[in-house]
Structures are given as C-alpha cells and as structure tokens.
Amino acid sequence: MPDPYYITTAIHYPNGKPHIGHAYETIAADVIARFQRLRGREVRFQTGTDEHGLKMAQKARDLGQTPRDLANEMSGHFRTLFDVLNISYDRFIRTTDADHHRASQAIWQAMEAKGDLYLDRYEGWYSIRDEAYYDEKELTTGEGGEKLSPQGTPVEWTEEETWFFRLSKYQEPLLELLNTPGFLEPESRRNEMLAFVSCGLNDLSVSRTSFDWGVKVPGPDGHVMYVWVDALTNYITGLGYPDGGEMWDKFWPASLHLIGKDIVRFHTVYWPAFLMSADIALPQKVFGHGFLLNRGMKESKSLGNVTDPMELVDRFGVDSLRYFLMAEVPFGKDGSYSAEALVNKVNAELANSFGNLAQRTLSMVFKNMEGVLEQFAPATDDAALLSRVKQACSEAFPREFEALNFSVGIEAWLRAVYACNQYVDEQAPWGLKKTDPERMKVVLQTLIMAIRDLAIAIQPVVPDKAAAVLDQLGIPADGRDYAALADNDWFARLAGVGHTIAAPKPVFPRLDLPADEA
C-alpha cells in the first residue's frame, strides 16, 4: 500500500467573507487530495477557520458583534463556499472547537515542560492585520512617515507582560531543516527563510494579556495564547492530538502544509520550533503558493475590485473556475485573473477542445453505430494516437502533479487533446461512413479509448465534468482511478457485453461574457 497522505490548507481568518485567494488555495489543496486518492493513497484533508486573535476581536467590535457571533457567521460562509467548490475535505476545523482548545493547551504544556516558556515583558511592534510581531529593523516607512510591516500593514507599539518561547534556542536545527531538500518549496521562499533564520532569532512572545479572545494559557494568570500558537496547532488537533490513536499514527507527520507566501515564516520557523520543543515529528513539506491578483492588482475594498468567488461560480460554474485557476497560474508564482481571461481559456481549452472532441465523437458513435461498441483492432495511426494519449495521461500528467506543477501537467494533457482533434480532422470519420464503414468504426472507437484516458486523468481538476464524460462512456465507478489507466482490456469488456452509448449531452458548454466586460 502507498503511504497515507495528510494535506492541510491554512485556516482562514473569518473576519469577512472568503475572497478569491481563499478559493484558490483550497481548490489547489483539493486537486492534490483528489490526485493522491486516484493514485491509491489514503488521504486525509483538513481545512477550516482561524477564529481567535486581535484581528477578529477588533472586527467584531467595529461591527458591534461578539467575536463568537462574527466567527459563527463568517465561518459558515467559508464552509458553504468550500462545499460549493466541491472541496473534498475530511474535517473543517474551527479553532473555537473544544478539542482544539485542549490540543493547544497540551502542546503549550509540552513546551513548558521542556523549559522553553518563560514570563517577561514584551516591548515592540505588532501588526494586527498580520497578527505578527516585527523587529524594528524589518519595518519600512510609509508615504505619511508611518511605520509599516514588511507586508505593508500598519504596526503599533505594544508593551505588556507575556510568555516567551525560546525560539533562539532552535536556530541551528531550523537551519538544518530549511536545508533539507524538499522541506520548503518553492526555492525562492526557502532562500528568504534561510536569510531570516541566519540573521539570528529573538525569542517569541506567545501570549497576550490585553484581550481575552483566545485559548486560555494553562494556569491562573489570565493570559490567552498568541493566535498563531493555537492556529498552527490545528494541524495536529484534527488528528487527535494529544490522545494519539489510529488516525494520528497513520497521518502524522503531515505530507504537505499548503499555504500562501505571506505566512511561510510561521510555518517553517515558528511551527517546526514548537514541534521540536514538544517532541513531535515535523511535517514533510511546506509549499508557499503565490498570490492571485485581479487584473494584475491586489484586491481591496477601497479599490472596489473585490471578487466574490461565489459569484464567479454562479456565473461560470465550479469546474470552469477550478480549471482556470490551476491551468492559468504556474503554481508557486503570483497570477492574475479576470472574467475575460477565464472565459477565453475555458472556451478554448475545455469547450472547443476537450468538450468538442467528446461531443462529436459520441454523437457520431450514437448516430452511425447506434451507439453500440464492438471489438476492433487498431491500425498503426490509431495505436500511435493511443500511445501518445497514454503517455500524457499516465506519465507526464501524474509526474507534474506529484511535483505540484499543475499548469505544466495540464499543458501535457491539453497537447494530447489537440493530438486527438488533429487525428479526427485527418481521419475524417464522417467521410468514411460511405466509403469504408469498418474503418470509421475503428477511428471512432480509438477516440473513445483516448477520451476515456483523458477524462480519467483530468478528474482532480474538473471532477464533475470528468465524471459526466465517464458516465456517458459507461465507465464503472471502480474503473476510474489511475491504476485503471494501465488496464488495456476495459474496452473489450464493454464491447463484449454490447455496451451502448446513449445520446450524448454537451458537458462543456461555451461560456458567454456580457458585452460590457468583453
């Protein structure tokens, strides 16, 4: 059996409704989870919401709500969106869940038992927007002379008694970890973190006394944990920490923490240090993906360019959005999106290429062969096409997806689709109907074989659409995983029982863009 696979997304701040960046990260994680399941791995997939901290407390105060009410309302929007996006998560964790408070207190006690926590006075800069402490030397100056974090967010001077974590003690093992091949990708993020850790690490303030919206620090002194201590712990809460058990043994350490580039420091410096302190194994990989921009610009309320991902789904459909995001943006880099780019790409690659291939092939089989599949022997041209498609679907595509190069894998798949369309044009089966009906059958059935492989391969990206094509072909549910790509007898089995293709319905309709957006 291949190794079990545990994948997590960042948990999202529910201080507002989800935006396109949240949809992007969670779709990418879902694509990976589905891909690994199709490869035969047992997968656990966790996402959720990060509900404590000053940012939530302040937003709730501005809205005249309690933080808990705000969290309940907004977390519901995330969950609804992820259900609509067909996200196959196993747990949607909320940091207000009771088991999460218990797990956070347990890791705290483990760090304390190690002698890594001490009380002192914190005096320094804090960004509420980033929920992060910064050194004076990391700050920049804004246009009005105000101090800004490296992320460009406002910082405020903070002084209070807090618990500290002995982060400085872990500099050497962290450098070693960051130098471990494959631990942090892409390479550019690794270089940033190596530079940060090499400069020396200050101990980290890990509790607050000026507000109480958080997990209580064990003990009588009225501190709550710094929100990142509890947030990071979500990854182990979801597997049953501190009790352990079957799920823990099977899935920890995580195979992949998928996060955005702005929170790499928390995941590859703070989190591994907490885990080392608590004697817990370290995650195998952290990947910091890029940011999505709206026509090249950051979305913001003041620019009025904030996109509601739910609206994109309503307009264009879930699988169109999933395909566009994964095919358009080289994973790890920043990317840009617009309704126009989405419509153009989906129409060119799904509607006009793969959709058209499936629709015209199935229609011809239905019209010219009464839909009945028959045994056949491919000739040289046919075998060449099939081996080209097989290479794309069972070698190039999985190789690139395993390496998280989604756009490159989809490109390989698309080139195989183009090869099929070229074969249709060259073989012109519509003309063979009169001149050589036996040859027409061979051509159409070769295409059926190719379409089946193409639909199996692309399932992680467009699960509903791929399933619709496989349903039309009559591929049984247990014949759709990647192992089935090595099965060369499936067609003979279907033809052997005189399987009949029903009148096909278009699976990939063309999308329209209103004139004022084109």
User: Contact positions toward ligand ME8, by CB under 6 A?
Assistant: 10-13, 21-22, 24-25, 50, 231-232, 234, 259-260, 262-263, 291-292
Burial of 411 (0-12, 13-18, 19+ CB in 10 A): middle
In contact, 336 and 295? CB cutoff 8 Å: yes
Q: Which is nearer to ligand ME8, 184 or 357 (CB)?
A: 184
* Shortest distance (Å) from residue 70 CB to ligand ME8: 14
Cα separation, 17 vs 76, whole angstroms: 9
* Shortest distance (Å) from residue 261 CB to ligand ME8: 6
Count of other CB atoms within 10 angstroms of residue 333: 13
Q: Which residue has the tokens 């062969």?
A: 369
Q: Which is nearer to ligand ME8, 79 or 465 (CB)?
A: 79
Give ∠ CA 97-101-103 in degrees, rounded to 5.
110
Q: Which is nearer to ligand ME8, 287 or 376 (CB)?
A: 287
Structure tokens at 455: 């639909």
* Shortest distance (Å) from residue 13 CB to ligand ME8: 4
* Shortest distance (Å) from residue 281 CB to ligand ME8: 18
- 381's CB contacts (< 8 A; 6+ apart) are 423, 426, 427
Count of other CB atoms within 10 angstroms of residue 88: 16
Q: Which is nearer to ligand ME8, 234 or 359 (CB)?
A: 234
Cα separation, 494 vs 373, whole angstroms: 7
* Shortest distance (Å) from residue 304 CB to ligand ME8: 16
* The one-letter amino acid at 496: G
Cα separation, 213 vs 192, whole angstroms: 32
Query: In the beta sheet, which residues pair with residue 321?
Result: none
Cα separation, 391 vs 352, whole angstroms: 23
Q: Which is nearer to ligand ME8, 11 or 358 (CB)?
A: 11
In contact, 101 and 215? CB cutoff 8 Å: yes
* Shortest distance (Å) from residue 228 CB to ligand ME8: 7
Phi, psi of 335, rounded to the nearest 5 degrees: -145, 165
Residue least distant from ligand ME8 (Cβ): 260
- E strand segments, 300-383: 335-337
* Shortest distance (Å) from residue 256 CB to ligand ME8: 13
Alpha carbon 132 to chain centroid, angstroms = 24
* Shortest distance (Å) from residue 224 CB to ligand ME8: 16
Q: Which is nearer to ligand ME8, 202 or 300 (CB)?
A: 300
Closest CA to 87 of 319, 254, 258, 279: 319
Cα separation, 433 vs 42, whole angstroms: 47
Cα separation, 138 vs 111, whole angstroms: 27
In contact, 7 and 43? CB cutoff 8 Å: yes
* Shortest distance (Å) from residue 259 CB to ligand ME8: 4
Q: Which is nearer to ligand ME8, 49 or 472 (CB)?
A: 49
Q: Which is nearer to ligand ME8, 52 or 441 (CB)?
A: 52
**Parallel, antiparallel, or unpaired for β 292-294 and 335-337?**
parallel
Query: In the beta sheet, which residues pair with residue 9?
Result: 258
Closest CA to 344 of 512, 464, 223: 512
* Shortest distance (Å) from residue 163 CB to ligand ME8: 19
Q: Which is nearer to ligand ME8, 10 or 275 (CB)?
A: 10
Q: Which is nearer to ligand ME8, 138 or 262 (CB)?
A: 262
Q: Which residue has the tokens 């129409």?
A: 347
* Shortest distance (Å) from residue 202 CB to ligand ME8: 21
Q: Which is nearer to ligand ME8, 13 or 134 (CB)?
A: 13
